[in-house]
Amino acid sequence: MIAIINYNAGNITSVARALQNIGQDFIITDDTKTLDAASHVIFPGVGAAGEAMAYLQQKKLDNWLNDWIKLGKPLMGICLGTQIIFDFSEENDTRCIGLVRGSTKRFPDNMLSDGRTLKIPHMGWNSVKFQREHPVFQNISAGAEFYFVHSYYPAPAQDSVVLGVTDYGIEFCSVLAVKNLVAMQFHPEKSGKPGLQILRNFCAWRGNDL
């Protein structure tokens, strides 16, 4: 069973609809005992880091996520669910979960591309340059584009965890992977066929075949 963590963040229903689209059973819950019974967990979300962490701590989901990773079971982070797996987020000066060493940073002001100022948030379709192969990203075409909506971006402390990068004024880590964790800044549930393929791959992944 796939479990979607409900932590009072937006966009969770979009992930649920995408799983329905691929015929995958799932539950949405913030109950740790219910989550314990899952085979895979998806940690999605749109919102602010400070509010999200407050809810996770209230429900003890921050500790639960650390324990889940230690079990070696698959975990997927999406957007805000990727940003708060780091040690710290510049958004609301928030101490985060610490599953991955590093921080979440805000895009610099006045970024330029071809002489024009880029808007923040970064919103729309963009490509990902993958650094290596990974089971969750099999059968994704080289020219695939994915849907982004964000003002902050992942900044891992170690380059070894970076799986893919995207260019928006600066080159930033848009996909990361370490052991049984994969996380992405874009929204696979809003990225058409390539995004649905990522979700299919994740649901078939066992977290230990890198």
203 noted as active-site residue: no
Helix axes 61-71, 49-58, angle to 10 degrees: 80
Among 40, 134, 189, 203, the one annotated catalytic: 189
- Is 187 labeled as catalytic in the residue annotation? yes
Catalytic residue, chosen from 40, 134, 150, 187, is: 187
Q: Does the annotation count 173 as an active-site position? A: no
Closest CA to 148 of 177, 176, 120: 120
Q: Of the listed 79, 96, 173, 203, which one is catalytic?
A: 79
Bridge partners of residue 150, in order along the sequence: 122
Backbone angles phi, psi at 140, to 5 degrees: -105, 125
Rounded CA separation 7/12 (Å): 9
Beta bridge partners of 93: none
Residues annotated as part of the active site: 79, 187, 189
